[in-house]
Amino acid sequence: MDLTFEGSFAESRDKTLFNDQMIQHLFELHEEFESSRQDLLKQREETQLNYDKGGYPHYLLNHPAKHENWQVAAIPEDCRVRRVEITGPVSSAKMVINMLNPNQEGIAADMAMLDFEDSMKPTWENVLSGLHNVVGAIQGDLTFEQVSSNGSVKKYALNPKGPRAHVMVRVRGLHMVESHAHVKNSPISAGVFDAYMVAALTAKIQLSRGETPMFYIPKMEHFKEAAWWNSLFAAIERKLNLSSSSLRVTALIETLPASYQVEEMLYELRERALGFNGGRWDKIFSDIKTLRMHENRIMADRSYIDMTRSWMDNYAKNIIKICHKHGAYALGGMSAFTPGKDEATRIEQIKKVEADKAREAQIGHDGCWVSHPFFIKMARDQFKEENQLHRLLENFLDQPDLLPQSDGPKTIEGLRKNIRVGIAYQKGWNEGLGCVAFDNMMEDLATLEISRAQTWQWLHFKVTLDDGTQVTKELVKKIFAEECEKIISEFNGQEKDQWIEAKTMAEETFLMDRLNNFFGDIQQRKAQ
């Protein structure tokens, strides 16, 4: 066995997360799954080259999913009500507690997705804190103390008597590595690390109480990747002596290629799938990234691309139709609004969330995501039934058009919003955060990815905006300088140096000649 940890254990409690058997299992899983993971990543690259040469994603015809009569495994009792799910970084004990507990109205979300992925910067400290927080959430003894500048202490703890949200854990995607754990000088898959460690630390506790260990899988692009994940969870079950398919999963359909293979992916996961979620923000990023070299598919301002656009509406309904056909749940995407700091903003934000969730319920979703406890009740109120599996959308097209359209505004204001997000997110990232509250939105990695990809594409094709302005590097640099000044002024000059540093780093990322696949890859190379 040759698994080593490159990161230090800052606290003695961190060492208690691992024992010799767990380290042995991680080594064995790496040996079993790393080669096939690399093959899948190579297939992604080859497929993207085809798209860059003018190809498009397309539906498949000959997979068994299309020709067999099948249903997903029965949904366990504790997974049947998913009207509202709340999400946030697993590394923050305070946020985990607030996600699990009832909000100020005494209402808890049905599910809390504790996230190792887009809302968490994957530092070693954050990863280890996340594991501790998952254990504390499952055991029910998670606490946190916040010390204010005047020395007063505010204590947070899980509600001992309930109600509490059920725990779900989103692991990191196929493309990510855990750079602090190596086998023979090669980092192990972050998804393997997260899935195994969470299961090893908590699954038997949950199963002994009659609860279901639930995971979220992100960023898939092909049904072969779904098969890989299914095999991984099966291998983890064998190593932990768990019954087959006791680890259940929900997958995010959040890439353009995956949206053409929903049925095939569900088929590969059918023995453990609970449902699919339409990850709208990453989907928009994927639309841009996948068709980045297609000049006829240059997308409009990010604020214009909502779920009423024809291809986004088709994408959502396609997920619902396929999931319900096979007995799986279909969840709507994230409303990333924050409540705001004044009454007028709060009223406006409530209207936006209610409208978004009402539409999701109306077209047939079984539930939705919110990013803040404040919105739990108003989101849940839009979903009148425990689920809508009876909504089969039989009159909806079998193979709808999912390709993004290029109509809509392309404005200087849209470019400014992208750049503001870039600066704000980079500052949060520099401070160890993976999500930041900014401009009354909870911005995680997905919105940053949209912003940098769209800016890159507009630059690459020298897009002429609606007012006649051409997008150039000089224009982007000018807007970066202007928006940084505005932000510093809005924050009354506080942390000026940090904002300037973030602006410099974000500008460098946005102006790269090549569109890198993921922001995290860029940051990892910079850190080396």
**Active site residues per annotation:** 170, 444
Q: Supply angle C-alpha 104, 108, 114, rounded to 5.
A: 115
Distance of CA 343 to the CA centre of its chain: 30
First to last CA, the chain: 26
Backbone φ/ψ region at 500: left (φ over 0), alpha (ψ -120 to 50), beta: alpha
Residue 332 has which token pair? 């709507």
Q: Supply angle C-alpha 267, 273, 274, rounded to 5.
A: 135
**Can you tell me whether residue 407 is helix, strand or coil?**
coil
Q: How many residues does the chain have?
A: 528
CB 29 within 8 A of CB 236: yes
Nearest to 172 by CA among 192, 196, 201: 192
One-letter amino acid at 415 equals: L
Q: Describe the crossing of helices 445-460 and 519-527 by its angle, rounded to 10 degrees.
A: 90
Residue 428 has which token pair? 């949060």
Q: HSE on the CB side for 410, CA within 13 Å?
A: 22
Nearest to 196 by CA among 26, 57, 383: 26
Residue 113 has which token pair? 């997705």
CB 375 within 8 A of CB 105: no
CB 108 within 8 A of CB 164: yes
- CA 86 – CA 220 distance, rounded (Å): 21
One-letter amino acid at 126 equals: N
Give, as one character, the DSSP assignment of residue 196.
Answer: H
CA distances from 406 to 253, 315, 369, 456, 483 (A): 22, 16, 28, 16, 26
Residue 12 buriedness (CB in 10 A; 0-12 / 13-18 / 19+): exposed
CA distances from 361 to 138, 357, 438 (A): 30, 6, 28
The radius of gyration of the chain's CA atoms, rounded to the nearest angstrom, is 22
Give, as one character, the DSSP assignment of residue 167.
Answer: E
Q: Which residues contact 342 (CB under 8 A, 6 or more apart)?
A: none
Residue 49 buriedness (CB in 10 A; 0-12 / 13-18 / 19+): exposed
Residue 104 buriedness (CB in 10 A; 0-12 / 13-18 / 19+): exposed
- CA 470 – CA 57 distance, rounded (Å): 30
